[in-house]
Amino acid sequence: MSGNGLVGSDRVLAVLSELAGRPDGIGLDEMARVMTSPKPTVHRALAALRRAGFAVQDGHGRYLLGDEFLRLAFAHHEARPDHVRVQPILQALSARYGETAHYATLDGASVVYRSKIDPPTGAVRLTSVVGGRNPAHTTAVGKLLLSAALPTEASVRAWLGTRTLSAPTDRSLTTAEQLHAELVRTRERGYGIDDQENEAGVNCLAVPAYLTSSTAPSGAVSISALAYRTPLEKLAADVPAIRAIVAGHS
């Protein structure tokens, strides 16, 4: 980033932005070269950031982002509702595949849709609506989240209790044994699938979304597609790209 033409607060912000891309730190000389500004000018900007706690200097004289800046950034991130933070992810996925993208969380035997983005053209009517529910065992998002919550067949049976598993289509899982086997496959794959199990003619693939924690998923992001237009095999082959989109916007 060039510092030419930057003055006052603009220069301070430009230096802060450069620090954000330097996790190992940067020295004053190098920062001045990058900013194409005189060292005294850059030093004043760094001093202002240090006074605010937004920059620190290590024992080798290199400058890094300060804890106060990180505290504010993470506090802001944590305070934003999931459905707000996930919007860019859903928009990117919907635009890439021309299909509907969802963000959902698990609530007992159901998934709750917190956010949904339809493609600009070619959208189809689905049973999912924001705030609505679908059975966890018939949805990609539900099976993905259940796979983390129910690690054994005994836990699947305890979760099921005296309930019976509904069958919206003839492909739906209807027994504890079938669901347990699918959850095992889901854990092995690292993503959930719905092969026309919730709606005939519609398949879905879901990956975890880490919006509030780096270790425990807050929910799952999915792409729901017309099976003839975007086959499940195509989505499965593209999982690395899907994960990259989710990680890049989280």
Under 8 Å between Cβ of 114 and 82: yes
The tens digit of pLDDT for each residue in 148-183 reads 999 999 999 999 999 999 999 999 999 999 999 999
pLDDT for 241: 94
What does the pLDDT read at residue 92?
93
pLDDT at 7: 55
Residue-wise burial string across 104-134, b where 16 or more C-beta atoms lie within 10 A, e elsewhere: bbbeebbbbbbbbbbbeeeeeebebeeeebb
50 pLDDT higher than 90: yes
Q: In the prediction, which pLDDT does 126 show?
A: 75
- Kindly state the average pLDDT of the residues 199-223: 88
Residue 93 has pLDDT above 70, yes or no: yes
| Mean pLDDT on 88-97 | 93
pLDDT band at residue 145 using 50, 70 and 90 as cut-offs:
very high
- Report in angstroms the alpha-carbon separations of 76 from 17, 73, 80, 143, 160: 17, 5, 6, 31, 38
* Contact between 85 and 73 (Cβ < 8 Å): no
pLDDT at 191: 96
Predicted confidence (pLDDT) at residue 33 exceeds the cutoff of 50: yes
The predicted structure's pLDDT at residue 166: 94
CB 199 within 8 A of CB 169: yes
Q: In this predicted structure, what is the pLDDT of residue 76?
A: 65
Q: What is the pLDDT of residues 59-73, one digit of tens each?
A: 889 999 999 988 887
Q: Residue 200, class by beta-carbon neighbours within 10 Å (0-12 exposed, 13-18 middle, 19+ buried)?
A: exposed
Percent of the chain with pLDDT over 70: 92
Closest CA to 6 of 37, 30, 33, 52: 37
pLDDT at 1: 43
Do you know the residue count of the chain?
A: 250
pLDDT given at position 107: 92
Q: Residues 174-202: what's their mean pLDDT?
A: 95
Looking at residue 2, its pLDDT comes to: 44
For the chain, the average pLDDT equals 88
